[in-house]
Structure 1
């Protein structure tokens, strides 16, 4: 079975987040003391900081969203106002969701070849499923596993092993493709899977992991 990550692998999360941040600043920048460039960098750092706190269960999914807004606009911001502002950002983020150009062709080829496909993703199940539906690719996947339901997040080997068990496939015969070396490729390999690093950003390779630079390279490897 072939499992995929979502953000940075199937969904161009970085571009969607960047464009949403630009639009959000245009709407609310007058309330901030940052320039547009400063806002983009601060927002990116807050996104990483608080999503990690969600993954380690320090904060709920809702609370990590609120804290991003309170750090940005000030902690005098009520929960209701923080939620309202994040909802505005989320609508802009969703508006910019889109798959990488190589995604649909790759998934179609894999299904035509008879491969079962699945998802293993860090994040909230409802939102990750919404992404797949929005991209029009959810029907390609037999099963979808997220850290919010499994109870642990990548690179913890448990999430990979539980996903394989639930999908009724052998771990050592299952592939995992993701854009993050440590979290995805090495994490899945540690769990016993065949980890493949989808390194879209540069030509770097890794001696212990198979590396591809776009999904067009995946089908020949599997065959």
Structure 2
């Protein structure tokens, strides 16, 4: 079985987040002391900071959203105001969701070759499923596992191993493809899977894991 990450692997998350942040800035920039470029950087840093706190269970999924908004506009905002502002951003972020060009051709090839496909993703189950549906690929996957369901996040071996149990497949006969070296490729390898690093950004390789630079290369690695 072949499992995939979602963000920055199947869905172009970086572009969606950047464009969503730019559109958000156009609506609310007059309330901030930052220019557009500074705002995008700040938004990105706040996203990383507070999403990590969600993954480590310091904050709920909704709380990490609130803290990102309060980090921008100030902690004087109440929860309802922060929630409303984040919903505005979320609408703009969703409008920019798109799959990479190599995703659907790759999934179709694997499907035609008889592979079962699954998802293992850090994040909230409902939002991750919404992403897959929005970009038109959810029907390719018969197993969708997220950290919000399992209770632990990548790179913990537990989430990879429990995904294999739920899919009724052997860990050592399963592949995992993701964009992060430590979290995805090494994390899945440490769990007993064949970890593949999808390094879209440059030609760097790594001795410990298999590396591809496009999903067009994947079918040469899975047998």
- Runs of 4+ off more than 3 Å: none
Q: Which residue of 2 aligns with 1:166?
A: 166
Which structure 1 segments of 5+ residues have no match?
none
Structure 1 residue 83: Cα displacement? 0.4
Q: Deviations over 1:157-214 (max 9, x none)?
A: 0000000011000000000000000000000000000000000000000001000000
Structure 2 residue matching 1:115: 3-state secondary structure: coil
Q: Which residue of 1 aligns with 2:124?
A: 124
Which structure 2 segments of 5+ residues have no match?
none
Q: Which residue of 1 aligns with 2:7?
A: 7
TM-score, normalised to structure 2's length?
0.99
- 1:55-204 maps to which residues of 2 (within 5 A)? 55-204=55-204
Structure 2 residue matching 1:222: 3-state secondary structure: coil
Structure 1 residue 78: Cα displacement? 1.0
Structure 1 residue matching 2:130: 3-state secondary structure: helix
Structure 1 residue 221: Cα displacement? 1.6
Q: Which residue of 2 aligns with 1:40?
A: 40
Structure 1 residue 76: Cα displacement? 0.5
Structure 2 residue matching 1:192: 3-state secondary structure: coil
Aligned equivalents of 2:20 and 2:49: distance in 1?
A: 18
Structure 1 residue 17: Cα displacement? 0.3
Structure 2 residue matching 1:72: 3-state secondary structure: helix
Structure 1 residue 217: Cα displacement? 0.1
Q: Deviations over 1:2-32 (max 9, x none)?
A: 0000000000000000000000000000011
TM-score, normalised to structure 1's length?
0.99
RMSD value, Cα = 0.4
Aligned equivalents of 2:146 and 2:122: distance in 1?
A: 5
